[in-house]
Amino acid sequence: MNIYNYVTLGSAAIVIILILVQTRGASLGAGLGGTAEINTVRRGSDQTLHQITILMVGLFAGSIILSVVA
């Protein structure tokens, strides 16, 4: 296995975890047992988690493309 395969597997596992931690239509606290309040704007840790997820999906897709090309 080359380095692209390891990066793909690692980033896939991280993306799965990040997506499962996020909740749809609720804040992070509501997903972990807090009150159910609906925010239309991501703030604080929700926004950071969302941005990290986007970054990891980009890394995942890029590693797949590089693996196919190489």
Amino acid 16: pLDDT: 94
Amino acid in position 33: G
Number of alpha carbons in the 13 Å side-chain half-sphere of residue 20: 6
40-53: average pLDDT: 81
pLDDT digits (tens, 9 = 90+) for 13-42: 999 999 998 876 555 555 555 555 565 666
pTM of the predicted model as reported, rounded to 2 decimal places: 0.69
Amino acid 6: pLDDT: 92
- d(Cα 32, Cα 20) in Å, to the nearest integer? 11
